[in-house]
Structure 1
Amino acid sequence: MLSLQGFIHNSSFIALFVLFWLSVYFVATLWVFFYKFFLLKTTCLKEQDSLDAILTGKGIAPSDPLFQNITKRPSKELLLIWRSQVQKRITTGLVVLSIISSTAPFIGLFGTVVEILDAFGKLGGGGQIAFDVIAPIISQALIATAGGILVAIPAYSFFLILKRKAYDISVLVQMQIDILSVEKKATKEKGNSVG
C-alpha cells in the first residue's frame, strides 16, 4: 500500500485536482446537510405550533413575520405568497446536494481515466509489461472513482432526508392555508346569508 506522500508524488496534477475537488464537495455536503437539517427541524416545529394555534383558535394567521400586523384572517392571495416564500426558504441548498450527488462519480471517473491514460502512456514504450507492474498503477488510478462514489452516497442520502423534511413542512403550511381558507369562506357565507 502506498503512503500518502508516495501517492501524491506518483499522481498526476489532474488526479490531485480531482481529489481536491471531491474533498471540497464532501465538505460542502456536510455543511449544507447540517445547516439545513437544523433549520428545517426548527421550521417544522414552528409550523406545527402555528397549526396547533390555528386549530385551537389561539391564532388567526400563521406565525410568520409576514402576518404580524394582521388583525383579521389573511386573504387567500397573501397565504399563497407566504407558501411560496416558505417553499423557497426550505428548498434552498437542496440543489447543491443534488448536483454533488450526480456529478461526484463522474468527476472521480474522469480522474481515473486520466490516471490510466497517463500510466499507459508511460508504460507503452517498454514492450511487454508484467501484471505486477500494471496492477499498482491501476489500483492508484481507481482511488479517484472510489472517492467520487464515496462523496456521492452521503450527498444523495442527505438530499433525500432534507427533501422529505421540506415536504413535511410544505404539508403543514398547506394545512394552515386550507384551514384558514375554509374558515374565511364559512365566515363570508354566514355573513351573506344574514344580510
Structure 2
Amino acid sequence: MTDTILNYLTNSSAITYIVLALLSIYLIITIWIFLYRYFSIVALIRNEEKSLESLTSREATFSPLSALNKCANSTNSKELLYACEINIIKEASSGISWLAIISSTSPFIGLFGTVVGILESFAKFSTHSKVAFSVIAPAISEALVATAAGIFVAIFAYTFHQILVRKVYELNTYIKAQSQILIAKG
C-alpha cells in the first residue's frame, strides 16, 4: 500500500500535487468547522432545553444560561424576542455555508486533477506508434485518484453540513418555544 502511494506521488505532476493539497486543506477545514460548530451548537441546545423545561415547570423561571435570556434582558417584548431569535440562529449557523461550498466544489477540483492527469498521460503516449490498453489503463487509473479524493471530501462536507443544519433547527425550535411562552405570559 505504501509503495503504491509513493509510486503514485513520484509519477504525479505539479497539478496533481496542487489538487491533492487543496483537497487536503478542504478536508481539514471541513473537520475543523464541523467539530467547532457541532460542540458549540450542542452546548446551546442543552442550555435552551433546560431553560424551556424551567419555563414549563412549576418554577416558571427563565434560565440565566439561556442565550435568549441574555439577549432579551428579561424583556417580553415580541419584537425584541424575535430579533434575539434571529441573532442567536445567525450566530449558531455561521460557518456552516462553508461546508456547502466545500461539498459542491471539491468534486470539481478532483475532476480537474483527473482531466489534467489524463491529458498528461496521453501526451506521454503520443510519441509511441502503438500503445496497448495495458499501458494506458494504469495511467488513467492514477489520474482518477484526484476525482476519488474530491468525492471523498465532498461526502464528509455534505454529511457534516446536514448534521449541523439539523442541530441549528433543533436550537431554533427550543428558542421559538421559549419565545412563545414568554410572549403568552406577557
Normalising by structure 2, report the TM-score.
Answer: 0.91
Out of 85, 88, 91, the residue aligned to residue 93 of structure 2 is: 91
1:59 aligns with 2:72: no
8 Å contact 1:104–1:148 — kept in the other structure?
Answer: yes
* Residues in 2 aligned to 1:125 and 1:97: alpha-carbon distance in whole angstroms: 44
- Alpha-carbon deviations, 1:93-127, whole Å to 9, x = none? 11111111111111100100000011101111212
Provide closer, same or farther for how the CA distance between residues 120 and 5 of structure 1 changes in structure 2, counting only shifts above 3 A.
same
Provide closer, same or farther for how the CA distance between residues 74 and 121 of structure 1 changes in structure 2, counting only shifts above 3 A.
same
Query: What does 1:4-153 align with in structure 2 at a 5 Å threshold?
Result: 4-56=5-57, 57-59=60-62, 63-64=66-67, 65-68=70-73, 70=74, 73-153=75-155
* Residues in 2 aligned to 1:63 and 1:3: alpha-carbon distance in whole angstroms: 54
* Residue identity in the other structure for 1:157: T
Structure with larger Rg: 1
RMSD: 1.8
Gap runs ≥5 in structure 2: none
Number of residue pairs matched?
181
* Residues in 2 aligned to 1:116 and 1:67: alpha-carbon distance in whole angstroms: 59
- Residue matched to 1:176: 178
SS in 1 for 2:48: helix
Gap runs ≥5 in structure 1: 185-195
4+ residue stretches of structure 1 with deviation over 4 A? none
Identity in percent:
41
Normalising by structure 1, report the TM-score.
Answer: 0.87
